[in-house]
Structure 1
Amino acid sequence: MEQALLDAFQENIALIDTDGKIYATNSAWKRFARENGAPKDYTDIDRNYLSLLTATGSFEEAAGIRDVLSGSLPFYDSSYACPSPREDQWYLMRVTPLKEQGVVVGAVISHRNITKEEQQRREVYDVLESMTDAFYALDPEWRFVYLNDQAATLLRRSKEDLIGKNMWEVFPEAKKTAIYPAYLAVLKSEQSRVMEQFYPPLEAWFEIHIYPRGSGGISVYFKDVTDKKQKEFKLWETAHFDHLTGLPNRMHLYKELTAKIKEQQKLGIFFLDLNDFKMINDVYGHDKGDELLQQVASRLKTQLGPEFFISRFGGDEFVIKTDYLDEEQLDQEAERIASCFHDAFWLQGVNGFHVTASIGIALYPQDATSVDDLITKSDMAMYEAKKIKQTHWMYYSTSMAESWNRRLRLEKELLPALQAGHLLPHYQPELDTVVQQVVSLEVLARWFHPTLGFISPQEFIPIAEESAQLQALTEGLIQHALKDFIYWQHHCGYRGMLSINVTSQLVSEDSFCEFLVKIKKECGVADGLLELELTENMQLFESPFIQQKLRLLQENGFRIAIDDFGSGYSNFSYISEFPIDKIKIDKSFIDYIGESEKGEAVLDSLVLLSLRLGIDLVAEGVETEAQVHYLQLRECMLMQGYYFSKPIPAEEATTFLQRLLVNE
């Protein structure tokens, strides 16, 4: 009965006593010995199995069996390869104690064929070792039970250093990262998880896939994604930072403000715009303009420090964010920002020059509760500050909304007003006071709005400039004025000039210069009868490109006049070299007459200078007979001002010219 029971088992089974002597085997044991070429009595009954193992060098297995027989081990397992004539096979030997009344009286030796399992295990091993991903397995006590070569490479440790060791003891810094709670969550929930984590000691980013193991513990597949993360960061940096200045860009600013507003954190926003930046671009070139923007950004970062979020909003506009405490703090911070423009900027190959900035301030949540509204209101305040023409700041106030809405309305209605006849040229004559003849009629734009009434040029001309409508406005006024001019020539015997106010920026535009030459030719205006008046500024005198354009216009029959001379960027060294036909002395000098001896001395010097250079000289803003008399005594005979006529519409200009024609 006992033998039949043993023969029923497929495993190779032998029973041994406490001395290791075989006293029973099953048919599978005998067949295994016979098929694998063992001597006939090699493992037969009465042979000592411990002696056989020792004789064949299997000392570890013999020791394991002795430990089971002595009661030191509850069981013993050992896997081994067993070459056979047909194929290599793998077996698992298991030793289990036989007990009677709790006392070990022998053991059961079983050998189970595990070739299929071992082949599968080796296939898995080969897969794990050949994977480009790194892999390791941890038991429930966080000990490494396996890792492949790629894992050892990425972790920069040998397999021998890690197998059997607690992960958190070997890599203590990992426990301080999000890796530990993620591993713990997978171990407890038995649900997989994917994460990316930077590990500082290895200075590397890893993509980590964590899976629960059926036998307890976790399996971890991971790979180094540092290159990918660096590329992602580069893309993020490109999307969120300005390439020219290195400052956060508009997108980054909006995200920053959105996050702070979501936290309901009080904020102060400084909207900063560089004054006359376009002129710097036109005079020195866009590369110098870019260099200036870089220097402004660098100075803001250096002088303001990390407590300010400094961004480039676009063009020459910067937006600076600070945490808001009270108005006194904001005043101090506004002064710090303004102080960044106290010193001159030095560009390569260019003398140092000062740049001013206009700054608008808006607060969250007092002034606005959304990012767009906050930016808009700081922009409104900046435009109010810009009216002062120096580095200055202003806080947003509700009254600015009305001014802003008016500005937007005028910007929208500007060109339609020209087409509808609400924005028309007026004319102010220049007279030769010796013969009492009009030598020129200056074109001045006047806007009579049907509901808003008279709108000053000081208001709508800057709007036209800032909204890129100045060229269209100027060309439309010139076309209208030329019709009046030709009419006066034919019906009033007018032989004087038509003077047109243009900016140096317009002259720098090829399309505008082409328009001037074309319309002069189309209207049949003789050379020397169209005069272009430009207000003196740095752009006019220091830009070789604009000077070249002016000379080209002179060659095409246009005269060049400098308006408001002495009021701005007066550089007398340029007068003898610059293509100038006329100088118009600013009204501020005329006001010195009879009021200031020093002022009169300056005026006398200007008159004398123009006479010696052979340049026509016109005194602007003449309002009294005493001023007329003073200027005539100094041989300044060309004058313009309210003493003779204010700017008048075309109909009145016609009457004015006809009256002078009769007096002749």
Structure 2
Amino acid sequence: MTDLSTLLHRKMPLAAWIIDIEQSSVPWCNEAAEVLLMDSLSDIKSGQRVIGSELKSRLALYLKELEVGKTLPFKWPFVSKDGTHYNVRGSVISLGGARKGLSVEAHPVSAPRISVENSHSSLLSHFTTLSFAVFEQNGIYLEASKCFTEQFGDIEHVRDLFAVAGAANSFISRLAQRESMSQDIRLSTKNGVRWHKIEVSHQLKTNVVYLLTHDIQEERDHEVALYRLNNYDGLTHLPNRNLLYQQLESALVNARKRHRQFGLLYLDLDGFKVINDNFGHRVGDELIQRVAERIKGSIPSGACLYRLGGDEFVVVLENTNEIEELESIARSIMQNASNTYPVAKMEMMITASIGIASYPQHADDVDNLLKNADAAMYRAKSTGHNMYCVYEDHMADNINAHLTLGGGLRKAIEEEQFILHYQPKIRLPDEVVVGAEALIRWVHPELGMISPDQFIPLAEESGLILPLGEWVIRRACRQLQEWREAGLDPIKLSVNLSSRQFMQADLVDMVQRALEETGVDPKYLELELTESMLMADAQQSIEKLHSFRKLGLTLSIDDFGTGYSSLAYLKKFPIQTLKIDRSFIHDLGLDCDNDAIVKATIAMANSLNLKVIAEGVENRSQIDVLNGYDCQEVQGYLFSKPLSSDDFLMYLKAHGVMA
């Protein structure tokens, strides 16, 4: 039988700690390590502890090469104050993100011999720091060390230690069979139920049982904390990419085995970077939390929500029968996104673009399923905000083009590979050209003319929309200057602002500089803004709009009727023009509802002294209806598509311009 003193020493708690190589610190250690390393660690700020530079350099070399979970191929010696020799062993762990650290333990090589006295009391007196007790074979308590009594109090039977009756019965049954035991189990202490490692040894000569207990609750908590650190998002507490891959691999195995389907939704928030850049990461983090809560409440109980990081989420639904089940979840998420989020004492709005992919229709492995859902999401984002798309084969080509264009966008801005086209604005009823809308085009040296639908979302995501938007404003001002110098009657030129550009802190100053540098009269420059852009932070929008009005600019609400503005705010916004969205003009004269909406909008605008422009006019019947409703201006393919600068000049000469 194992010598008792050897057994006791072997079962003493191992000294364990974690080393953060990058910070040269020991962010956690247990009590045994505190004692063992007391003379080896020096305190620094925040209560962390320093490790030596020589050891740091050696460990760092291995840390770069080894993956998480791997054990170091070497041990380093340590000798305690009492002369005990230890071998320190380490394994690589994750400290969150891409950062790695080491979890180490000190294993004793030799232990001092301890004489075993004939009496239990004499034996127990040698182990004042160990939780050690002696019982009769039937479980009746005999005596215990001071440490044991302090932890468990006065007990009469070994049964009193157990938190669960079933565990107590099993333990007593094994005692009766004289089994030696070593296991982790929960015991009832004076401080509540806690995890312990227990070791049982039988003394055949005296017919007693030795029980050694070691509180491992701290180690268990540490393991749970490490697990959560590696597998859950710290901000939203949602499972992260690691658990997503685990579920998808498991779902794939089950689907193949049972011939079932499963699918996922890939979500990316629209314009989140704008909020982060303009309101700060604290506001952005709070918004992410609110969005996560909203999405979680929008999906069925059988679906799982994951956060991949940043503003990306994934919803997984197993055992689906039809793709319509996934589309239904997407519609539910979009519907709930129409309500504002109370964040930092503001009412904020944000939507998501959603891509849908399903096994086995769209991919037969996890990586391709995620990639294809991602491609569908990009398709939705390029089509419009708060939309979803189901994956189709051609979308994989689109994502490759997306990445290719993204790499060349910054170079294109530096080399000014962009031009402006101009779509005439026509006054009713005399149909004279009185203005134009400036529309950007990318003339790629290899791919030719690229539509804004392809590169504007890229510019928004990358932040390049700011220098690109400034280029558009400056080029529009120069164009007005060129027309004036050419002797043309002055016309008004409108420029669209993106939501991120509108949030730019120095936007007003930048526009003012552009006007001063070109000498353009501000009344001929018009800025077009969308309802959703203005309503993201209505009060701040009002202040910025008044600043523009002080410069003398004209302000217009573009795509009116498609956003979420209210009449109350419409009165507060210092705007001069409403542009009715083309979706209401398309069936004008054919759809009674659209007719009523357009008529009411024009009447309301006239009562507020606002000019109305109808966009997307394509036939004469629409003009007839709009003339009857007293609409002041129109633009659309009936009169002209967007034209290059030279073609626009020819159009002006052909149709005439009035001041």
Give the TM bin, normalised by the shorter chain: 0.5 to 0.7
Alpha-carbon distance in 2 for matches of 1:153, 1:261 = 52
Q: Which residue of 2 aligns with 1:248?
A: 239
Q: Out of 508, 521, 526, which is 1:526 matched to?
A: 521
Q: Is the 8 A contact 2:579 2:612 kept in 1?
A: yes
Q: Is the 8 A contact 1:265 1:323 kept in 2?
A: no
What displacement does 1:426 show?
A: 0.8
Alpha-carbon distance in 1 for matches of 2:556, 2:161 = 85
What displacement does 1:223 show?
A: 2.4
Q: Which residue of 2 aligns with 1:151?
A: 148
Partner of 1:361: helix, strand, or coil?
Answer: strand
The change in CA–CA distance for 1:621 and 1:264 in structure 2 (over 3 A counts) is closer
Q: Which residue of 1 aligns with 2:214?
A: 223
The change in CA–CA distance for 1:574 and 1:117 in structure 2 (over 3 A counts) is closer
What fraction of aligned residue pairs are identical, expressed as a percent?
25
Alpha-carbon distance in 2 for matches of 1:141, 1:598 = 88
Q: Does 1:585 align with 2:584?
A: no
Q: Out of 394, 402, 407, which is 1:399 matched to?
A: 394
What displacement does 1:551 show?
A: 1.5
Q: Which residue of 2 aligns with 1:408?
A: 403
Q: How does 1:249-264 map to 2 (within 5 A)?
A: 249-257=240-248
Alpha-carbon distance in 2 for matches of 1:333, 1:594 = 37
What displacement does 1:558 show?
A: 2.1
Q: Which residue of 1 aligns with 2:19?
A: none
Q: Does 1:204 align with 2:200?
A: no
Q: How does 1:403-482 map to 2 (within 5 A)?
A: 403-432=398-427, 438-482=433-477
The change in CA–CA distance for 1:617 and 1:501 in structure 2 (over 3 A counts) is same
The change in CA–CA distance for 1:538 and 1:214 in structure 2 (over 3 A counts) is same
Tell me the amino acid that sits aligned with residue 264 of structure 2: F
Q: Out of 144, 164, 167, which is 1:173 matched to?
A: 167
Moved more, 544-553 or 311-320: 311-320
The change in CA–CA distance for 1:180 and 1:226 in structure 2 (over 3 A counts) is farther
Q: Which residue of 2 aligns with 1:360?
A: 356
Count how many residue pairs are aligned between Structure 1 and Structure 2: 529
Q: Which residue of 1 aligns with 2:126?
A: 127
Partner of 1:647: helix, strand, or coil?
Answer: coil
Alpha-carbon distance in 2 for matches of 1:545, 1:468 = 21
Partner of 1:203: helix, strand, or coil?
Answer: strand
Alpha-carbon distance in 2 for matches of 1:621, 1:117 = 98
Alpha-carbon distance in 2 for matches of 1:264, 1:590 = 48
What displacement does 1:331 show?
A: 4.5
Larger Rg: 1
Tell me the amino acid that sits aligned with residue 523 of structure 2: G
Partner of 1:127: helix, strand, or coil?
Answer: coil
Partner of 1:576: helix, strand, or coil?
Answer: helix
Q: Does 1:499 align with 2:456?
A: no
Q: Which residue of 1 aligns with 2:267?
A: 273
What displacement does 1:446 show?
A: 1.8
Q: How does 1:481-630 map to 2 (within 5 A)?
A: 481-537=476-532, 539-540=534-535, 543-569=538-564, 571-591=566-586, 595=590, 599-600=594-595, 602-624=597-619
Partner of 1:247: helix, strand, or coil?
Answer: coil
Q: Which residue of 2 aligns with 1:48?
A: none
The change in CA–CA distance for 1:603 and 1:523 in structure 2 (over 3 A counts) is same
Tell me the amino acid that sits aligned with residue 229 of structure 1: R
Partner of 1:528: helix, strand, or coil?
Answer: helix
The change in CA–CA distance for 1:217 and 1:264 in structure 2 (over 3 A counts) is farther
What displacement does 1:309 show?
A: 3.2
Alpha-carbon distance in 1 for matches of 2:133, 2:635 = 93
Q: CA RMSD in A?
A: 5.0
The change in CA–CA distance for 1:365 and 1:151 in structure 2 (over 3 A counts) is farther
1:185-225 superposed Cα distances (whole Å, 9 cap, x missing partner): 978xxxxx8x6544489721114567899999996543223
What displacement does 1:563 show?
A: 2.0
Q: Which residue of 2 aligns with 1:652?
A: 647
The change in CA–CA distance for 1:622 and 1:392 in structure 2 (over 3 A counts) is closer
Tell me the amino acid that sits aligned with residue 147 of structure 2: Q
The change in CA–CA distance for 1:363 and 1:262 in structure 2 (over 3 A counts) is closer
Tell me the amino acid that sits aligned with residue 441 of structure 1: A
Tell me the amino acid that sits aligned with residue 293 of structure 1: V
Alpha-carbon distance in 2 for matches of 1:541, 1:126 = 72
- Which residues of structure 2 form unaligned runs of 5+? 1-114
Alpha-carbon distance in 2 for matches of 1:229, 1:310 = 27
- Which residues of structure 1 form unaligned runs of 5+? 1-115, 188-192
The change in CA–CA distance for 1:225 and 1:474 in structure 2 (over 3 A counts) is same
Q: Is the 8 A contact 1:360 1:385 kept in 2?
A: no
Partner of 2:371: helix, strand, or coil?
Answer: helix
TM-score (norm 2): 0.64
Alpha-carbon distance in 2 for matches of 1:120, 1:141 = 20
Q: Is the 8 A contact 2:466 2:500 kept in 1?
A: no
Moved more, 146-155 or 643-652: 146-155
1:451-477 superposed Cα distances (whole Å, 9 cap, x missing partner): 444433233323333443322322222
Q: Which residue of 2 aligns with 1:233?
A: 224
Alpha-carbon distance in 2 for matches of 1:149, 1:466 = 65
What displacement does 1:647 show?
A: 0.9
TM-score (norm 1): 0.64
The change in CA–CA distance for 1:298 and 1:184 in structure 2 (over 3 A counts) is farther
Q: Does 1:311 align with 2:306?
A: yes
